[in-house]
Amino acid sequence: MNERVRHKSTMPPGITPGALKIKEAAAYLGGISQITVRRLIERGLIKPNRALRHILISKAELDRFLSL
């Protein structure tokens, strides 16, 4: 009986986070691959937030990139 418990999001319903992980950012950018997102970060075309354990990219940054 060693079951993993999934934690529910603490976000209220209908509110989306302001920053996305690599996988979510790839989908947000039109379904490109996660590797492509990482390459865009390496080239400096997208600036992530590395303050936490995971690389997060703000939606504003993704929108800025899409408007180029």
pLDDT digits (tens, 9 = 90+) for 16-63: 678 999 999 999 999 999 999 999 999 999 999 988 888 999 999 999
The boundaries of the domain holding residue 25 are: 19-66
Q: How many domains, in total, are found in the chain?
A: 1
pLDDT band at 12 (very low <50, low <70, confident <90, very high): low
Query: Is residue 6 domain-resident?
Result: no
The predicted model scores a pTM of 0.75
**Res 57: pLDDT:** 96
58 phi, psi to nearest 5 deg: -70, 150
**Res 5: pLDDT:** 55
Q: Which amino acid appears at position 19 of this protein?
A: A
**Res 44: pLDDT:** 97
